[in-house]
Amino acid sequence: MGLVLFAIAALVCAPAARAERVRDLGTYQGVRTNQLTGYGIVVGLSGTGDDNLEYLTQAMRGVSGRLGVQLPPGVSPGLKNAAAVMITADLPAFAKPGQHIDVTVSAIGKAKSLRGGALVLAPLYGADGRIYAMAQGNLAVGGLGVSAKDGSQMTVNVPTVGRIDGGASVERAVATGFDTAPSLKWNLYTADFLTAARVRDAINRAFPGTATVVDGVTLSLVLPPAADARATRMAAIEMIDVSPAESAAKVIVNSRTGTVVINSAVRLSPAAISHGKLVVKIDENPQVSQPAPFSRGQTTVVPDSQLSVEERGDHVALFRPGASLASLVDALNKLGVSPSDLVAILEALKEAGALRAEMVVI
């Protein structure tokens, strides 16, 4: 247990603040990916499709209608070799018509596997309901699923999800305002007024009068109007080194796995911790009682119980004012606490006002 806590401390006990590039602290507003979604049909499956699901037959009627093949009314085709799928993709910033992007295809019905299937041409929509790409191609499926007539099955990974590398062609570009806006906004990944001020100062030292702070997340950058000069200035700004502010003191507790993460900003007020456990052990050693020969007695089992009580962990850890994470972990190692006990100790310290950190339970 001590090794586990020591490993946690080694991961989170970072050295003093170090310089990081502006590009690692945030991103330009509007220069981002956009999510696309679509609905389509995968055909060519080897009997692992959706069969006669109503929404699949409706979709197949639409596909066949586009190709000039009209199914007779009232006819429900058997579609074990086809599956209804949801298609998702990310449209990168500045993607232009004719470029290709990767797509992920996921079964939404009762299909057992998409292995060997091909996606029929399907549109991909943005959040505004407009078509931004068209997807089609053969699926690459990493999973495998097989079944026998007696009902036994074996599945490796997930055979109902596949990918198509470069499977969608971009049909419409997304306007970012990069070359038209009088100023661009730059946003921190994590809100912090001190970090925003330091980024502003670093940018203005390199390019005077360029940056102003809008709030704890956003900076406004006045850039040259020409697209080429603007891109050159943005590239230079991204490579400027900045020393970000120290993160706020936080203790993250995962209630499902028992994982506890403590960052290096956590400090303790004067406090003492006593950690102990009452261990109750019961050993059962039943004995067999055998009657004497030629007697009318019966063989019986005689219980033999041994009860012992032991109290372990009679240590007390004392923390000086402003004790750091290293001191906390070292003391808890000596006490031999488990993850669940660690959570209880941290909650008690927080309740006593000795733990200067925000506790987040996820």
In order, the DSSP letters of 100-131 are: EEEEEEEE-SS-S--TT-EEEEEEEE-TTS-E
**Distance (Å, whole) CA 78 – CA 52:** 6
Average pLDDT, integer, range 217-225: 89
How far from chain centre, in Å, is Cα 146? 30
Query: 289 exposed, middle or buried (CB, 10 Å; 0-12, 13-18, 19+)?
Result: exposed
**Distance (Å, whole) CA 152 – CA 342:** 44
**Distance (Å, whole) CA 305 – CA 188:** 65
- Cross-sheet strand order for the sheet of 358-361: 260-262, 250-253, 358-361
Extract the runs of DSSP E, i.e. beta strands, from 126-213: 131-138, 144-147, 153-156, 161-170, 183-188, 211-213
pLDDT of residue 344: 74
Helix axes 193-206, 227-238, angle to 10 degrees: 120
pLDDT of residue 76: 55
Residue 14: which pLDDT band, with cuts at 50, 70 and 90? Answer: very low
The answer to whether residue 305 scores a pLDDT higher than 60 is: no
The enclosing H or E element of 234 equals helix 227-238
Of the candidate ranges 113-122, 189-198, 316-325, 345-354, the one whose mean pLDDT is the lowest: 316-325
Query: What is the share, in percent, of the chain residues with pLDDT greater than 90?
Result: 20
Provide the β-strand partners of residue 209. none
Regarding pTM above 0.75, the answer is: no
CA dist list (Å): 70 to 58, 62, 73, 124, 154 = 12, 9, 9, 25, 39
**Distance (Å, whole) CA 283 – CA 144:** 49
Of the candidate ranges 117-121, 173-177, 238-242, the one whose mean pLDDT is the lowest: 173-177
Average pLDDT, integer, range 44-55: 74
pLDDT of residue 102: 93
pLDDT of residue 279: 46
The answer to whether residue 239 scores a pLDDT higher than 70 is: yes
Radius of gyration (Cα) for the chain, nearest Å? 32
More confident residue, 339 or 244: 244
User: In the numeric block, which tokens belong to residue 228?
Assistant: 């080429």
Q: Single out the residue of 354, 361, 340 nearest to residue 273, CA to CA.
A: 354
CB 71 within 8 A of CB 79: no
pLDDT of residue 99: 93
